[in-house]
Amino acid sequence: MPGTVYDFFVQWHLTEKCNLHCRHCYQDIAVPAMAFEETIRGIDNIREAFAAWEKDYQMEMTPAFHFTGGEPFLRNDLYDILGYVRKYGYAAALMSNGTLITPADARRLASLGVSEVQVSLDGLEAVHDGIRGEGAFRRALEGLKNLVAGGVPASINLTLSRLNSGELAGLVRLAEKTGIGAVTFSRLVACGSGGALSGEMLTPAELAAFYGEVRRLQDKASVVFTSRDPLFTVSGLEDGMPEAEFPLGGCSAGVFGITIAADGGIMPCRRMDMTIGNIRDVSFRELWAESPVLWALRTRESYHDGCDACAYWAVCRGCRAVALAGSRARGGQDYLGPDPQCPYYRAAR
């Protein structure tokens, strides 16, 4: 539609190497990373799709590349890759464990105009180190302070489970004290090494209580909460919202974003761990238009036993990765069933 602005993000895993071994990591099999030239060709492949969408649909694209890993700061061509996407005017952000970020890194990130560095903190020191290893908290905090001192927008991300749902208020206080502008969270997806933590996932009632706490903190804290968790969005909706038969918001998978794995594998979302092609040998534009998996994610009738009949489908659809992980735990491969943590189902009219 002419004049439409299309926010689209590419989550790009530049490496699977990591200097930490977190209990909830969703990466279980290491794959070799693409070299610099292949990475640039992959970015160009996606650029072609952006250009075609803008021309064909007269849309204004506002794409963002979110680079992560593994640990992206282990990639020694990181700044060349960031420079390449910035050259085309795309927003670039990073997701990192924070432990390797020096003052010099912060200066380079600032000079490239990196829009945000999200650092994982799963709680204050005892809880964070219990999940990510001794000393990880202190080093991550050092990295965060370097970012703030260097003028790079920084945020804290919590991977939410029963292990740390009580840590939020402490993290918010830490952010306020340190000058970190945003706090976010994403729900634990019990896959990869994190599969062993499936018993630590919050129940629907516990999740609703957590969202309630976020909203109470939001009212008085100076930081902003930026979670893309669709159920968090639903938790703040008023009744009477319009229903639609096409996605307007909610889960990004198949709609507003794509993941590129370190080896070029293309996934609807990294946490779904379903490879639908490889950026080295498909046209991204064609894959986006034709992939049956992506179409299923966009189509209400593909869903079953919950979201398909829910008033919030267009703005939610639950977390497809949580749904898939739940199905896999029962021996299935179903990514279109109910989100087992959902407390908000409301029958569609």
Q: Which residues bind ligand SF4 (CB under 6 A)?
A: 228, 230, 234, 251-253, 269, 271-272, 306-307, 310, 312-313, 316-321, 339, 342, 344-345
**What is each CA distance from 214 to 122, 158, 175, 224, 239, in whole angstroms?**
15, 12, 14, 10, 20
Beta carbon nearer to ligand SF4, 65 or 137:
65
Q: What is the DSSP string of 220-236?
A: H-SSEE----HHHHHHT
User: Nearer to ligand SF4 by C-beta: 262 or 272?
Assistant: 272
Look up residue 124 and give its two tokens: 């204050």
Choose between 9 and 50: whose C-beta lies nearer to ligand SF4: 9
Minimum gap (Å) between residue 100 Cβ and ligand SF4:
25
* Alpha carbon distances (Å) from 128 to 22, 85, 220: 10, 32, 25
What span, in angstroms and rounded, lies between the C-alpha atoms of 156 and 70? 17
Q: Is the peptide bond before 150 cis (omega within 30 degrees of 0)?
A: no
| Least spacing, CB of residue 319 vs ligand SF4, in Å | 3
Cα separation, 189 vs 320, whole angstroms: 10
Minimum distance of ligand SF4 from residue 297's CB (angstroms): 9
The least CB distance from residue 338 to ligand SF4, in Å, is 6
CB 348 to ligand SF4: min, Å: 9
Q: How far is the CB of 190 from ligand SF4 (least distance, A)?
A: 12
Q: Which CB sits closer to ligand SF4, 25 or 321?
A: 321
Smallest gap from residue 41 Cβ to ligand SF4 (A):
25
Asked if 202 contacts 162 with a C-beta cutoff of 8 angstroms, the reply is yes
For the bound state, the minimum distance from the C-beta of residue 308 to ligand SF4, rounded and expressed in Å, comes to: 8
Q: Which is nearer to ligand SF4, 67 or 312 (CB)?
A: 312
Report the alpha-carbon distance of residue 125 to residue 172 in Å, rounded. Answer: 14
Q: Please, which residues have CB within 8 angstroms of residue 144's CB and are 6 or more apart in sequence?
A: 98, 101, 119, 121, 154, 156, 178, 180
**Nearest 5°: phi and psi at 143?**
-60, -40
Q: Which amino acid is at 260?
A: I
Report the residue number, 33 or 307, with the smaller CB distance to ligand SF4. 307
The helix, strand and coil proportions of the chain, stated in percent and rounded to the nearest 5, come to: 40, 15, 40
The nearer residue to ligand SF4, 135 or 212, going by C-beta atoms, is 212
For residues 146 and 161, which CB has a smaller minimum distance to ligand SF4 in the complex? 161
